[in-house]
Amino acid sequence: MDNKTVQELIDRYVTLSFQVHKKAESLIKGQIGNELTNDQHYILRYIHQFKECTSSELADAFEVNKSAITAIINRMVERGLIQRTRDENDRRVVYLTLTVAGEALFQDCQEKVRLLVESIITQFDETEIVNFVNTYEKLAAILTNKKKEELGE
């Protein structure tokens, strides 16, 4: 590819990436309403997926400082959505799990998000959406490897 074509593709990618990210975040927020912030929703999703985790794991997964995660977790604990449990063998380790209320709220939000995403992906034929998801997974892997290279891992 020549430089002009590469630059045009870069410009399209950056513009589209921003538009898709912002619009998707806005649509998801519209579905989950005032019950949760998008960050809180993603944290509930992560804990639901892994059953339990630590604040450090969340900070690594979301690529933010542990203090940012701690502030969010504190609010969610106060609301009764997440509980903290100390490791019996190492009291310094604190595990985070969903409470019954946290699981119920996650399931409610999950269904709303599922319906939203379904309304979008059904506008594509199956081959298009499978190819898109495969390509998006490939992009995620490339970005993960790029991040590891930056960190010298």
Q: What is the pLDDT of residues 34-73, one digit of tens each?
A: 889 989 999 999 999 999 999 999 999 998 999 999 999 9
Residue 151, in any domain of the structure: no
pLDDT, tens digit (0-9, with 9 covering 90-100), for 69-102: 999 999 999 999 999 999 888 888 999 999 999 9
Does some domain include residue 149? no
Strand duo 82-86 + 94-98: pairing: antiparallel
Is residue 128 included in any domain, yes or no?
A: no
**96 burial type by CB count under 10 A (0-12 exposed, 13-18 middle, 19+ buried):** buried
Is residue 148 in some structural domain? no
pLDDT of 28 > 80? The answer is: yes
Residue 39 is assigned to a structural domain of this protein: yes
Residue range of the domain that includes 92: 35-122
Note whether residue 44 is domain-resident: yes
Q: What is the mean pLDDT of residues 25-37?
A: 89
CATH code of the domain covering residue 86: 1.10.10.10
Encoding tokens for residue 38? 């998008």
**For the chain, how many structural domains are there in total?**
1
In a domain, 135, yes or no: no
